[in-house]
């Protein structure tokens, strides 16, 4: 009776991070050993998926970090080879260096935020309306540049959480709604309480999100319009951070189309 257990134990000991794809063969008889083997294989599959996600994240992060560094290196090499630079050329080089080092700095900050979310306590009573109102005020100058109108309606409900995290999460959503909007567009934020939830809807009249991207838009480094994101200095981490912040607050976030054009982000969080 102990022989099958010993054989299973030996097979488990041979499993390493390098051979997770090699599953343990399940016995023909559906007994306790069969159940243990099946459970172990399921756990291994989840570990393999987790490792693959980490590998992909690391590869994407390395790529995003390498891009501005490569651009800087090329510009410095070209500048070094040329002689008799004038003040305008020095000014242009410094401006480019500041732009790309700023992008690197923001990327590192975003990566750190993604890894440190679990360490932040959730103990503040937050009035959602006031929080969103502050964000709209802070983003007003960006909206004015493209003649985009901002509006806020709804209830003054409260939730429990971290105000700094929630500020960042909703800031990302509203900033995206502004940046990827059309000229003379609109961004409307509506807050309502329904049963035990506070529901925050952020609607825009922008470029929209393709159906095949809606499921992936909250993954790190995923961008709908890559050329436009790079032009604006985005690395595709903002919505990933927002999604993790909302999850940390026990909430959910969904995407739908804002007919005839645009996008609606709907956030639900348990109210106080």
Q: pLDDT tens across 208-233, in order? A: 888 888 878 888 777 766 544 545 55
* Residue-level pLDDT at 7: 67
* Residue-level pLDDT at 84: 81
**DSSP letters for 215-262:** TTTTSTT--SSHHHHHHTT--S-HHHHHHHHHHHTT-EEEEEE-TTS-
Confidence band, pLDDT 50/70/90 cuts, at residue 43 = confident
Write out the residue range of the structural domain in which residue 88 sits: 1-119
CA neighbor of 222 nearest in space, from 249, 205, 240: 240
**DSSP letters for the chain:** -HHHHHHHHHHHHT--TT-TTSPPPPPSS-SHHHHHHHHHHHHHHHHHHHHHHHHHHHHHHHHHHHHHHHHHHHHHHHHHHS-S--HHHHHHHHHHHHHHHHHHHHHHHHHHHHHHGGGS---EEEEHHHHHHHHHHHHHHHHHHTT-EEEEEE---EEEE-HHHHHHHHHHHHHHHHHTSPTT-EEEEEEEEETTEEEEEEEE-SS---HHHHTTTTSTT--SSHHHHHHTT--S-HHHHHHHHHHHTT-EEEEEE-TTS-EEEEEEEE--
Same domain flag for 97 and 161: no
* Residue-level pLDDT at 150: 97
Q: What is the CATH number of the domain that holds 214?
A: 3.30.565.10
Q: Residue 174 pLDDT > 90, yes or no?
A: yes
> Cα–Cα distance between 179 and 206 in angstroms, integer?
9
Q: Residue 206 pLDDT > 80, yes or no?
A: yes
Confidence band, pLDDT 50/70/90 cuts, at residue 201 = very high
Q: What are the distances in angstroms from CA 167 to CA 37, 115, 130, 161, 261? A: 46, 18, 10, 11, 27
Bigger pLDDT: 139 vs 81: 139
Kindly report the three-state secondary structure assignment for every residue of 38-49. HHHHHHHHHHHH
User: For the CA atoms of 108, 114, 115, 116, what is the dihedral angle to 10 degrees?
Assistant: 100
Confidence band, pLDDT 50/70/90 cuts, at residue 17 = low
Q: Residue 66 pLDDT > 90, yes or no?
A: no
Same domain flag for 36 and 101: yes
**Domain end call among 60, 95, 119:** 119
Confidence band, pLDDT 50/70/90 cuts, at residue 204 = very high
Confidence band, pLDDT 50/70/90 cuts, at residue 50 = low
**Domain end call among 119, 144, 162:** 119
Q: What is the pLDDT of residues 106-134, one digit of tens each?
A: 777 767 776 666 666 677 899 999 999 99
* Residue-level pLDDT at 214: 83
Same domain flag for 89 and 202: no
The mean per-residue pLDDT over the stretch 60-83 comes to 74
Same domain flag for 90 and 142: no
* Residue-level pLDDT at 232: 53
Note whether 159 and 222 are within 8 A (CB). Answer: no
Most confident of 8-22, 47-61, 67-81, 99-113: 67-81
Counting the structural domains of the chain, the total is: 2
β-partners of residue 154 are 191
Q: Residue 177 pLDDT > 80, yes or no?
A: yes
* Residue-level pLDDT at 69: 78
Same domain flag for 196 and 224: yes
Same domain flag for 160 and 235: yes
Single pTM value for the model: 0.66
> Cα–Cα distance between 47 and 41 in angstroms, integer?
10
Same domain flag for 263 and 140: yes
Separation of CA 124 from chain center? 23
* Residue-level pLDDT at 203: 96
Same domain flag for 107 and 176: no
Same domain flag for 177 and 252: yes
Same domain flag for 134 and 160: yes
Separation of CA 6 from chain center? 45
**Domain end call among 84, 119, 154:** 119
Same domain flag for 162 and 185: yes
Percent with pLDDT over 90 in the chain: 26
Bigger pLDDT: 150 vs 244: 150
β-partners of residue 126 are 159
């Amino acid at each position: 009776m102990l022989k099958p257990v010993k054989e299973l134990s030996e097979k488990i000991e041979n499993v390493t991070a390098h051979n997770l794809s090699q599953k343990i063969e399940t016995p023909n008889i559906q007994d306790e050993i069969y159940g243990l083997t099946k459970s172990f294989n399921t756990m291994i599959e989840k570990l393999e998926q987790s490792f693959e996600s980490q590998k992909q994240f690391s590869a994407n992060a390395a790529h995003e970090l390498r891009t501005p560094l490569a651009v800087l290196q090329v510009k410095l090499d070209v500048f070094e080879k040329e002689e008799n630079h004038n003040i305008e050329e020095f000014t242009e080089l410094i401006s480019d260096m500041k732009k790309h080092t700023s992008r690197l700095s923001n990327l590192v900050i975003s990566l750190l935020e993604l890894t440190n979310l679990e360490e932040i306590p959730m103990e503040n009573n937050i009035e959602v309306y006031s929080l969103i109102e502050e964000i709209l005020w802070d983003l007003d100058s960006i909206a004015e540049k493209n003649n985009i109108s901002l509006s806020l309606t709804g209830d003054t409900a409260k939730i429990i959480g971290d105000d700094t995290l929630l500020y960042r999460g909703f800031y990302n959503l509203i900033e995206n709604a502004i940046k990827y909007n059309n000229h003379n567009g609109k961004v409307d934020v509506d807050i309502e309480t329904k049963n035990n939830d506070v529901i925050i809807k952020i609607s825009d009249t922008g470029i929209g999100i393709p159906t095949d991207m809606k499921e992936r838009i909250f993954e790190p480094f995923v961008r709908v319009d890559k050329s436009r994101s790079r032009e604006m200095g985005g690395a595709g981490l903002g919505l990933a951070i927002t999604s993790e912040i909302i999850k940390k607050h026990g909430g959910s976030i969904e995407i739908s189309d804002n007919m005839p054009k645009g996008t609606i982000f709907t956030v639900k969080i348990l109210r106080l």
